[in-house]
Amino acid sequence: MIDAVASDYQDTIAFVAVAGRSDFDSSAAKASELISANVPWGFDESIWEMYDVLGQPASVMITGDDIIVDSWFGAVGEEEIRAKFVYLLSVAG
């Protein structure tokens, strides 16, 4: 859902998907199936530990000052994800 909504926030929120717990080639193949150009992706195992991510899908919203605003595990519907983005913009502004 983040990928589907990201295009509406491209000018105000930076998105990145982080893969890990696999190998790069497998991650690249899966990323090409799941993620559009709206959300660039990278491969970095250290991010998982840094933000206490135990599995996927997991999301973390961070301000430009590296403050964690929200995090969640699992899928979130469009209305809720939009509300989370509005909140992020209100506290990061």
pLDDT digits (tens, 9 = 90+) for 18-69: 988 889 999 999 888 888 888 999 998 888 888 888 888 899 999 989 899 9
Give the model's pLDDT for residue 54: 86
Q: Is the dihedral of CA 50, 43, 56, 35 positive or negative?
A: positive
In angstroms, the CA 30 to CA 59 distance is 17
Give the model's pLDDT for residue 37: 86
Residue 80: pLDDT band with limits 50, 70, 90: very high
Full DSSP string of 46-77: HHHHHTT--SSSEEEEE-TT--EEEEEES---
> Across residues 77-92, what is the average pLDDT?
95
Give the model's pLDDT for residue 76: 94
Partnered with residue 68 across adjacent β-strands are: 62
**What 8-state DSSP symbol labels residue 7?**
G
> Across residues 3-25, what is the average pLDDT?
91
Task: With H, G, I as helix, E, B as strand and everything else as coil, classify residue 76.
Answer: coil
> Across residues 75-88, what is the average pLDDT?
96
Backbone angles phi, psi at 77, to 5 degrees: -70, 165
